[in-house]
A and B are shown apart, each in its own frame.
Chain A
Amino acid sequence: MNGVDAEHGDGHVPAVSVPSFPRIELRFGHPGRGYQPGEWVTVEYCIEGLRGERPRALERSALWYTEGKGEEDLGVHFFERFCTLETIDRVVPEGTFAFQLPTSPLSYEGVIVKIRWCIRLRVFFESGRDHVSEHVFTVGRVPPSVLP
């Protein structure tokens, strides 16, 4: 697992530093988290440390975003939101989902432009705060760019 947990809405705080925040374990179908365009991605996840606090909603998404010198662009490829009591119970504290990758964009490690793919799980609590967990994976096998 290579994920980043953060509290959102009123700030990003590493989950490990504040024990009351949940911890989201996520496992990809491919051990190396490397996929090819058009391939199916299967994901299993487990949300720990809820301590009895009931989530109000859960969002599962797969998206790409740009990093680097330019302003950040973002495109969502897969998005699901569960916000009723019945559906929440089906996807919390653990669940599985799958989606098929598009043909593009591929993951890219450029010099001033980078493209990253990730899975985001976002838990909304009754208290109003939300907690997001981001897990990066790669699409395609484009070697990193270096200045000629």
Chain B
Amino acid sequence: MRFPRFFTKKRGHRRTDSHAWGSFAEGLFYALLVAAGVVFGLLLVTGAVTYAPADPDSVVLQRGYEWWMWLLTLLIPVALLAFGGSGLVRVVRTWGKSQEHRAAASRTVILDGLAGPAPAVPGHPGVPSCDNLENSPGIVLRYRLPLESPENWTLVGLGLFALLWNAVVVVLAVGVGADLVGGTTDWFLIGLLVPFVAVGVGGVVLFVRATVLSTSVGPTHVEISDHPLVPGMSYDVRLGQGGAHLFRSIDLGLELEETATFRQGTDTRTQRLVVRRVPVSRWQRVQPVPGGSFEARVAVTIPTDAMHSFSSENNAVQWRIVVRALPDRWPEFTRVFPVVVVPVKAVATTASPEAVESLE
């Protein structure tokens, strides 16, 4: 048996550090947690301190803990034992097994996974599930696609920020007001209050502006005749754009976006990159019907050489229908409707297991 080397070589971009040392260090870490849990628990149960601090001359023979106090006290050692024990079992179970062996046992293994597992379309490994995209029927066409708009998240974020910040401002203001009513003036607190109020007012203004922007241009609806989509096939898409204003232009197209999640130092980052744009239709000088909305129906063809949708824990390739509109008096906005593209049906087989047996 040869002792494993501590430092190893790199091969391209692939990680090739010593798995033996890595597993050993991981096992040692979990073993230490278990040991800490055992020691901590024994100390608590047996009692390391057997005298009363208030009366050092007296020996304590029995301590009057309630049952809930015991539970609370044992919470930390039990958590250490559970975490360390489960980790130790996992290290022992995977010890000496190759990457493929471990992956085969769990069908898919994620190396240092950063996100949760992605459910797949049955019969299409790696293709993300489209359950959430098909649970809303359309008015005219079969499905109404859900909206995935980053503007909505910005709106929620601004609203939360304005709410929390101004709650702090109110607490400070109440303190300053109480001081003034009591006849004292805390200039430091007043000086602190001024920038806090300015930021709070700014937050409210930004939130109101974002709300007005998202509501004034009206909602966008997209319906599709079928789902999931297949390369080379055409689908009817119905666009509905609400709003009382004139739109200088409205563009509808397909986009393919790659998403990669990676660690950078201690941070987890996600990069998104649009690698393919397929323009479908463009309308100019659009004036929705007063009280109604602009309606259009177009055919969208998925390119025959399109990559199918793919999703694993840290990587994804996603297709989406994108609507970009430029209102006459408002900034341009983008609304995204994800879709799932499945691969073209498998071809007929060209060999069989019997043919392989004959080779052996």
Question: Which residue in A12, A95, A103, A129 is a CB contact (below 8 Å) of B124?
Answer: A103
Q: Is B99 an interface residue (CB 8 A)?
A: yes
Question: What CA separation (Å) do A143 and B110 show in the bound complex?
Answer: 26
Interface centre among A12, A95, A115, A122 (most CB of B within 10 A): A12
Known: A105-B127, A110-B258, A147-B275. A79 touches B2 (CB 8 A): no
Question: What CA separation (Å) do A4 and B9 show in the bound complex?
Answer: 14
User: Is the pair B258, A112 in contact by a Cβ cutoff of 8 Å?
Assistant: yes
Question: What CA separation (Å) do A122 and B104 show in the bound complex?
Answer: 14
User: Is the pair A70, B317 in contact by a Cβ cutoff of 8 Å?
Assistant: no
User: Is the pair B346, A37 in contact by a Cβ cutoff of 8 Å?
Assistant: yes
Q: Which of A95-148 contact B (CB under 8 A)?
A: 95-98, 100-106, 108, 110-113, 115, 120, 122, 127-130, 132, 140-143, 145-148
Nearest residue, chain A, Cβ from B123 = A103
Chain B interfacial residues counted at CB < 8 A? 75
Among B187-195, B243-251, B259-267, the stretch that binds chain A is: B259-267
- Residue-wise, chain B 308-343 has the 8 Å CB interface mask toward A (1 for contact) of 101011111100000000000000000000000011
Question: What CA separation (Å) do A37 and B125 show in the bound complex?
Answer: 11
Q: Which of B230-288 contact A (CB under 8 A)?
A: 256, 258-263, 271, 273-277
Q: Which of A68-106 contact B (CB under 8 A)?
A: 68-77, 79, 81, 95-98, 100-106
User: Is the pair A112, B98 in contact by a Cβ cutoff of 8 Å?
Assistant: no
Q: Is B184 an interface residue (CB 8 A)?
A: no
| Neighbouring A residues of B18 by C-beta, 8 Å | 9-11
Question: What CA separation (Å) do A77 and B316 show in the bound complex?
Answer: 19
Known: A74-B109, A76-B104, A148-B277. A104 touches B8 (CB 8 A): no
Nearest residue, chain B, Cβ from A73 = B312
CB distance from B24 to the nearest CB of A (A): 12
| Neighbouring B residues of A120 by C-beta, 8 Å | 100
User: Is the pair A71, B263 in contact by a Cβ cutoff of 8 Å?
Assistant: yes
Interface centre among A68, A103, A120 (most CB of B within 10 A): A103
| Neighbouring A residues of B263 by C-beta, 8 Å | 71
User: Is the pair B101, A63 in contact by a Cβ cutoff of 8 Å?
Assistant: no
User: Is the pair B256, A145 in contact by a Cβ cutoff of 8 Å?
Assistant: yes
User: Is the pair A105, B262 in contact by a Cβ cutoff of 8 Å?
Assistant: no
Known: A11-B16, A113-B315. A105 touches B104 (CB 8 A): no
CB distance from A23 to the nearest CB of B (A): 17
Q: Is B108 an interface residue (CB 8 A)?
A: yes
User: Is the pair A10, B5 in contact by a Cβ cutoff of 8 Å?
Assistant: yes
CB distance from B112 to the nearest CB of A (A): 5
Give the bracket for the number of chain A residues in contact with chain B.
Answer: 35 or more
Q: Is A20 an interface residue (CB 8 A)?
A: no
User: Is the pair A110, B98 in contact by a Cβ cutoff of 8 Å?
Assistant: no
Question: What CA separation (Å) do A120 and B103 show in the bound complex?
Answer: 13
User: Is the pair A98, B101 in contact by a Cβ cutoff of 8 Å?
Assistant: no
Nearest residue, chain B, Cβ from A100 = B349
Q: Is A48 an interface residue (CB 8 A)?
A: no
Question: Which residue in B1, B305, B312, B345 is a CB contact (below 8 Å) of A128?
Answer: B1
User: Is the pair B20, A10 in contact by a Cβ cutoff of 8 Å?
Assistant: yes
| Neighbouring A residues of B100 by C-beta, 8 Å | 59, 61, 63, 76, 79, 120, 122
CB distance from B166 to the nearest CB of A (A): 39
User: Is the pair A75, B126 in contact by a Cβ cutoff of 8 Å?
Assistant: yes
| Neighbouring B residues of A74 by C-beta, 8 Å | 99, 103, 108-111
User: Is the pair A10, B4 in contact by a Cβ cutoff of 8 Å?
Assistant: yes
Nearest residue, chain B, Cβ from A141 = B305
Nearest residue, chain A, Cβ from B20 = A9
| Neighbouring B residues of A9 by C-beta, 8 Å | 4, 18-20
Nearest residue, chain A, Cβ from B100 = A61
User: Is the pair B312, A75 in contact by a Cβ cutoff of 8 Å?
Assistant: yes
Question: What CA separation (Å) do A102 and B174 show in the bound complex?
Answer: 66
| Neighbouring B residues of A130 by C-beta, 8 Å | 98
User: Is the pair B307, A108 in contact by a Cβ cutoff of 8 Å?
Assistant: yes
Known: A12-B8, A143-B305. A37 touches B258 (CB 8 A): no
CB distance from B316 to the nearest CB of A (A): 7
Residues of B within 8 A of A (CB): 1-5, 8-11, 13-16, 18-20, 98-101, 103-104, 107-114, 123-127, 256, 258-263, 271, 273-277, 305-308, 310, 312-317, 342-353, 355-356, 359-360
Query: Could you list 22 examples of A-B contacts with CB < 8 Å?
Result: A6-B16, A10-B2, A10-B5, A10-B8, A10-B20, A37-B347, A39-B349, A40-B350, A63-B100, A66-B315, A74-B111, A75-B126, A75-B312, A76-B109, A97-B356, A100-B349, A106-B307, A112-B273, A113-B310, A115-B126, A142-B306, A142-B307
The 4 closest A-B pairs by CB, nearest first: A38-B346, A70-B260, A79-B104, A11-B8
